[in-house]
Amino acid sequence: MSWRCDLTGKGPLVGHKVSHSNIKTKRRFLPNLRNVTLISDALQRKFRVRISANALKSVDHRGGLDAFLLKAKDTELAPKMLEAKRAIAKKREAAAG
């Protein structure tokens, strides 16, 4: 399992741990990932995803999973979420026209 957010694509960063004597050693900064279940209103379906805490706040801010996915870039999304985005777009298009 990779340390990558399914919605934002946020992954680990590399930096230095700096000691009191200013010795620098390599370290990794891992994203704050959480396993959550999000519900799609358009598809009436649940999705189990591993997302960062920051992405969870963004989903709430944008008005739910459907709105977040429709606004997100395709390159950042995990394959499972990309399929969901396409299904949501197709469902909305069929309902509108």
Q: Is the pLDDT of residue 74 over 90?
A: yes
Which one is the CATH code of 13-96: 2.40.50.1020, 2.60.40.420, 2.30.170.40, 3.40.50.150? 2.30.170.40
User: How much is the average pLDDT of 60-84?
Assistant: 94
Provide the pLDDT for residue 12: 97
Delimit the domains of the chain by residue range. Answer: 13-96
Contact (Cβ atoms closer than 8 angstroms) between residue 18 and residue 10: no
The string of pLDDT tens digits covering residues 3-52 is 999 999 999 999 999 999 999 999 999 999 999 999 999 999 999 999 99
Q: Is the pLDDT of residue 97 over 80?
A: no
Cα(first)–Cα(last) distance of the chain, in Å? 40
User: Whole-prediction pTM value?
Assistant: 0.84
